[in-house]
Chains A and B, each alone.
Chain A
């Protein structure tokens, strides 16, 4: 089955936008609706769109790594953020805050929840990718 040209073109147009929107939700999540989980789902649906348009090959080209990699990296990042709290003498996963003055962006407030949320994001994206690769590939046969 050849996917339609219209769908392929449309997906090409929105793919990056959806992906960026997912990342936006991830970073905005702490103060506005969003967060790692929702962001990950949005980014994941970008890949689902891509899969619908170009099949598994398109996914392989878009993410040329084993989908287990974001899965593991996300988990490691989330757990590592929790463990990093030990370095400051705090409890596991106890949150910390950091206020930075960067040259261009000005005052930036960062909490330790952000890397944790990035971990969640990566795990969710990894999950979607694994599903697309395995179940999707199964269905394509």
Chain B
């Protein structure tokens, strides 16, 4: 299994190089990856269906307990078949879809292959964290693919929206997965499912995980990213946004439901969100005139349907859901690819401008109609089998089931209606609309569409092919009797409802003009609750919040910054000192009286500094403070430290002189209140620091580290100056960090000064007004 993932990576990396020689035929090369996966899955199918899942374990980061655990079970097999089967055909379709020599083709092919690999990894992972990694990889590759046309603002916005929404959900899901793993005591997916933990934490974790699943599978209210993502090239829509990526959320729900559907918030949450999505998607789909957006909203609707079926937590619903998962992958990608062919042949996807295509493209029309019928749930197609099973699953239950059934019925009516609208819109002959000119599509473009469309028919006619797979998944639930997928169950209630669904859907389609009017009125009323506007509003809200908080926290005033830092220190450190410590009485005021003399000089210089009116005087007095401290170092017997202090003090003086020439010579007089506040703060800082030093000096509980350094300096460090050995050897890494900071600071100051020089016309025009000493230099606006 790992080899298949590696194959995807290798081909993804090779694609940008190979495109130079192969041009658009590069897709034939990269199609090898999904095709190989498909073949491999087929050879393992018998084992998996017999209840012997294929597993593989490879150490990844042993220190963190991360392993590459892969596992192919019935649900995995279903998803792999979908991802790699549809993938192969979409790749082949790409070779005909793109123009020869199109720019960015290599990158596109590479990313598409990478996506295919990520999706494969996602459905094969047997480790919660590994699953998350692949999950986010699909988000990132999807972002790159939607933004393929990077010169169009629309596709950039769509790509960003998809990325933000899905990764936001992904991060929430990560929280949930971590909680789940810690409650279960293992990150192994199969172990968690085999022995599911219970409790409040698990309930919270599941809600978080479901948020992730809802965003990824475009559930209400996160759905707008999916229709927007139609800015992507059509093969991407067919693959990522119909067959593969959007199924990831549904897949996760299907994976967890057998173990967790009984936990309290799961069922209400999944059923409500799923049904709402199904109805909103269907309703919006009926209003679209762009064929691709029509399908996109249809996909939203069907994803809601899948969410309900796979999250309901009963074996019947699960069986129907698994069948629909496959059916939807087939018919929806067929339809998307059809739109691609139509777009290619006519140059438009607007159903108001397309007319008379049925006669010009009979094969495509037949295949697309087949897929649309499957979507609407017409026998004998796969879509019919799954919808029949879904009705069956909810017809015989209690009150909740009945409510859900009504929702499913309404959603299916809408589905039937927009299926009809699609076929009519794409291929029908419309009165008052000239026949659209067509240039015939190539066989290379048509063949994959035909294969996908016919597969839905074949699997519908031969339910025995799908049934074992679907049953194997449904076996994950305890059940008494086994219902099989079949075209004919006899004259059941579900069959009656199916007929009714189609009739109502047909009626909605025939009455499309009145429906349109109703929809327009409704949208005027409901305009305020548009989820897409919600997305925009939350983004601009975030911008505003950032602006406001920046304005508050980065006022640009040095005294405010400094005051905040110092006040925090006084409150936290001073508070801790006041609460928990006392100073013992064996304090010495000085070792030698001369220290007291120096200290008095230093203190006097400090006070004088604060009282100075001229800046230059203040700087000189500050220098005196520094030299005084250096003298104290000498008296304590630290020549290295004293030498360094002297030199740094001198250099600082010189730098001050440079800067002082740019500032007014005197400080600005301050208001009395401001002055008093500064004095109080300064006194408090001084007191707290003094107390902290005294307390810290007495708080020693372990023998000092200095003795060990003294002992080791010569034998280990090869030097007898301990200070230097510590600097360059024992704590060499620290020193390396410090000189890096020095270098960066030097370059930063240098470039700031140079940049300031360039943007300023002359020195005299610099506004050095009375606030100059209160303002930090602000970045130059360009």
Contacts and interface: CB of A to CB of B under 8 A. Distances in A.
B735 interface: yes
A20 to B, nearest CB: 16
B403 interface: no
B750 A133 contact: yes
Contacts of A31: 719-721
B729 interface: yes
A33 to B, nearest CB: 4
A75 to B, nearest CB: 5
A123 B732 contact: no
Nearest to A37: B644
Interface stretch (A9-17, A38-46, A100-108): A38-46
B742 A135 contact: no
A2 B720 CA distance: 47
Contacts of B725: 30, 113
Interface in B247-267: none
Contacts of B740: 75
A116 B728 contact: yes
Contacts of B661: 139
A74 B727 CA distance: 16
B753 interface: yes
A33 B647 CA distance: 14
Contacts of B651: 41, 44-45, 48, 128, 131
A71 B747 contact: yes
A36 B647 contact: no
A135 B658 CA distance: 6
Interface in B731-748: 732-733, 735-736, 739-740, 742-743, 745-747
Given A120-B735, A124-B742, A138 B753 contact: yes
B150 interface: no
B746 A130 contact: yes
Given A35-B723, A36-B728, A42-B647, A30 B718 contact: yes
B640 A130 contact: no
B763 interface: yes
Given A134-B750, A135-B659, A75 B728 contact: no
Interface in A30-82: 30-38, 41-42, 44-45, 48, 67-68, 71-72, 74-75, 78-79, 82
B718 A113 contact: yes
Among B659, B736, B739, the most chain A Cβ lie within 10 Å of the Cβ of B739
B654 interface: yes
A45 B651 CA distance: 7
A39 to B, nearest CB: 10
B762 to A, nearest CB: 9
Nearest to A75: B743
B743 A41 contact: no
Contacts of B754: 134
Interface residues of B, number: 44
Contact size range, A: 35 or more
Given A41-B647, A139-B662, A130 B749 contact: yes
Contacts of B747: 68, 71, 130
Main secondary structure of the interface of B (DSSP, over half): helix
B736 A35 contact: no
Nearest to A82: B736
A33 B721 contact: yes
A113 B746 contact: no
A29 to B, nearest CB: 5
B717 A93 contact: no
B761 to A, nearest CB: 12
B665 interface: no
B643 interface: yes
A141 interface: yes
A93 B720 CA distance: 19
Interface in A116-136: 116-117, 119-120, 123-124, 126-128, 130-131, 133-136
B657 interface: yes
A45 B650 contact: yes
A10 to B, nearest CB: 17
Contacts of A42: 647
Contacts of B717: 95, 111, 113
A139 B753 CA distance: 11
Contacts of A95: 716-718, 729, 732
Nearest to B717: A95
Interface in B415-450: none
B617 interface: no
Contacts of B662: 138-139
Contact of B757 (A36, A75, A138): A138
Contacts of A93: 732-733, 736
Contact of A135 (B650, B721, B727, B753): B753
A119 B738 CA distance: 12
Given A74-B739, A75-B743, A134-B750, A35 B724 contact: yes
Nearest to B716: A95
A124 B745 CA distance: 11
B719 A127 contact: no
Interface string B72-101: 000000000000000000000000000000
Given A38-B640, A38-B647, A131-B655, A126 B757 contact: no
B576 interface: no
B518 interface: no
A37 B639 contact: no
Contacts of B721: 29-35
Contacts of A74: 739, 743
B696 interface: no
B719 A111 contact: yes
B648 interface: yes
Nearest to A135: B658
A18 to B, nearest CB: 11
A71 B743 contact: yes
B463 to A, nearest CB: 64
Contact of A35 (B728, B742, B749, B763): B728
Contacts of B639: 33
A139 B657 contact: yes
A141 B763 contact: yes
A117 B655 contact: no
B694 to A, nearest CB: 29
B749 A117 contact: no
A82 B731 CA distance: 12
29 contacts: A29-B724, A30-B725, A32-B720, A33-B643, A34-B721, A35-B723, A37-B644, A38-B644, A42-B647, A48-B650, A71-B746, A75-B743, A82-B733, A111-B717, A111-B718, A113-B717, A113-B718, A113-B724, A113-B732, A123-B739, A123-B743, A130-B746, A131-B655, A131-B658, A134-B750, A135-B655, A138-B753, A139-B658, A139-B662
- Top 3 closest pairs, chain A to chain B, by CB: A30-B719, A41-B647, A35-B724
